[in-house]
A and B are shown apart, each in its own frame.
Chain A
Amino acid sequence: MWDQKFEDLLRGFLPFLGADEPLAQDTALRDLGLDSLGIVELLAALEHTYQVRFQDDALSQATFETPGVLWKVLSGLVEDQAA
């Protein structure tokens, strides 16, 4: 499961997720209001917060499909960074 930083950051880009509604692993982020420009900003925020660098091809709807998928990609980058 992801950390609180990730959850707080992600929620900021999800206008259709109420503060009292849980963020599920497999919810489609697009359905919660994450659009293509939101993806760009979210990616920049994640890079800044976790001090990682996404490759250009990570900037796809697939990477940002669900919170679970995004966290997996992000964790991978963070581990590579540490290695």
Chain B
Amino acid sequence: MDPTVEAALHGRFVRGVDLAPRNDAVRVGADSISYEQAHELALVWAGALLRAVRKPPGTVAVLAAKGIRAYVGILAALYAGATVVPLHPDFPPARTRRMMRAAGVSAVISDEAGWGQLPELLAPGPDGEQPFDLGGPDAVLPVLAPGCPAGTHPGVGRIVAEPAGALSEPRPVRPADAAYVLFTSGSTGRPKGVPISHGSAAHYFRLQDERYDFTPQDVFSQTFDLNFDCAMFDLFCAWGAGATALWVPPGAYRELPAFVAENRMTVWFATPSAIPLVRRLGGLAPGALPGLRWSFFAGEALTCQDAADWQAAAPHSTLENLYGPTELTITIAAHRWQPERSAGIAVNGVVPIGRVNGGHDHLLLGEDGQLAANEGELCVSGPQLTSGYLDPDDNAGRFVEHGERTWYRTGDRVRRIGEDGELAYLGRLDSQVQIAGWRVELPEIDHALRGCEGVTDAVTVDVTTASGTELAVFYTGSVVPLSVFARQLRTVLPQGMTPRHFWRLAAFPLNSNRKTDRGVLRARAEERLRRTTDTTGNTSTPTT
């Protein structure tokens, strides 16, 4: 197929420029940038990137905290026709280094936080691993670090962006070209890279355009980190409509109703754990969020109680529960909340995930690996499916062939409910859980904990509490101060993945297969958390 701009993910921003050139495309605190300004700046940066990389358009990492530069950086990478890899400067450097290597990053856009981290990322890892092959012993990594202190770092070639070198228009792309790469947790302790093509994204956003009625007057919340794919929904739904994406800082939760009203926010999207947080901080009274037109939740199970309370607080909004793994392009199913109907068909008090997106087929796999009629592992095939992980070894067991088609195995157990193809979420099949939207492979945490001095073995379990899913750890060995766990985990795991409870055991309970019985441990953790939960809910002490 011919390369085009229309089908490109960044074609949505171009559409926003046409619809509302003077509107703010993004607001972060007191900073903002209009569509026109962002478009011009991204063309300048894109031109600079293309001149700097050895094999254009390449893969561009955006290593920046929330700020105008992070958003324009993503746009500039796409305008260059490159694949963008959003990276989080707060992530452990060892993890970011692995991601950069896996993605084959050919250039970086950074702010001060990212710029300050680069020397550590470019140094060999503790295990001697290099970040990536720069293409020769004398090669340097091109880095565009606008607004950062002058000078450079060893191994870095600082890119200078000159207005004279701006592209005249965004570069065209082919539908099969990867628009972005995001990483999900891997059981081996190695994050798995998921490339999503412009074609997959185009299908996804066409469906969103049909389903919703966003306009240039809308203001979208931006609660998600940019390396989490729900942020792509915020940005490209807003930008395709000429609307504004507004960063919601943690402090905004202090008085969310005031923040929403002052900023004339109309579209809310967050993980369900935002709801108990807002409730605890007193912002969830009925009618407290009257300006919202749409309320979306995704990333973990949404309870009917939380949905009902949010709906009461935001009575003028349509509330939807969205579902989908990164491998299926942001979200692949949706359920529109209708208080009585939804609660009536819900399973275990959890809001259904609804119908699978148009243009896709799905099937359910039973425990025996055969097709199941009503309940089983959800497998999906269609245009939003990734072409496979960056490392083909990661594909093993994640895809299944059936009827001469490839299906992605979500690892989620679902049940058919109602008459019109809706699905209820029942739980995970494997040891993967979701904490505040992050997919976490529990063995990855176990692996990290076994690296702590004194720990013989460790088992992490997920526990459902009033404030969402929490992680608890049982370990064997000698008593380890919690601060030692904290230090060790911080070097390998993002903050959202860190367990909050640690208990020592003399030995782990075993099941009939002589394997550690995670079910028994989970039940014990639930029991202990019920007993120790006080008003703050998250203090625990090491016990034996």
Contacts and interface: CB of A to CB of B under 8 A. Distances in A.
Nearest to B534: A12
Interface string A15-40: 11111110000000001110111011
Contacts of A14: 539
Nearest to A33: B486
B539 A11 contact: yes
A15 B501 contact: yes
A74 interface: no
B487 A17 contact: no
B281 interface: yes
Contact of A16 (B251, B253, B280, B485): B485
B513 interface: no
A56 interface: yes
Contact of B281 (A13, A15, A33, A44): A44
A41 interface: yes
A70 interface: no
- Counting chain A CB atoms within 10 Å of each CB, the highest count among B251, B486, B490 belongs to B251
A45 B280 CA distance: 10
A31 B481 contact: no
Contacts of A73: none
Interface string A35-61: 111011101110000000000100100
Contacts of A40: 250-251, 253-254, 277, 281
Contact of A18 (B490, B537, B541): B541
Given A39-B250, A59-B251, A19 B486 contact: no
Query: How many B residues are at the interface, by size bracket?
Result: 20 to 34
Contacts of B483: 16-17, 21, 31-32
Contacts of A43: 254
Given A13-B538, A19-B541, A44-B254, A31 B487 contact: yes
Nearest to A44: B281
Given A33-B500, A40-B251, A59-B251, A12 B541 contact: no
B348 interface: no
A37 B498 CA distance: 14
Contacts of A36: 250
A5 to B, nearest CB: 13
- Counting chain A CB atoms within 10 Å of each CB, the highest count among B282, B534, B539 belongs to B539
Nearest to B90: A36
A43 B500 CA distance: 20
A44 B250 CA distance: 12
Interface of B: 250-251, 253-254, 277, 280-282, 481-483, 485-487, 490, 495, 498, 500-501, 534-542
Given A13-B536, A59-B251, A59-B254, 14 more contacts: A9-B536, A11-B539, A12-B534, A13-B538, A17-B482, A31-B490, A32-B486, A33-B500, A35-B495, A36-B250, A39-B250, A40-B281, A44-B280, A56-B251
29 contacts: A12-B534, A12-B535, A12-B537, A12-B539, A13-B536, A13-B538, A15-B482, A15-B539, A16-B483, A18-B481, A18-B541, A19-B541, A21-B481, A21-B483, A31-B483, A31-B487, A31-B490, A32-B486, A33-B500, A36-B250, A37-B250, A40-B250, A40-B251, A40-B281, A41-B277, A41-B280, A41-B281, A43-B254, A44-B254
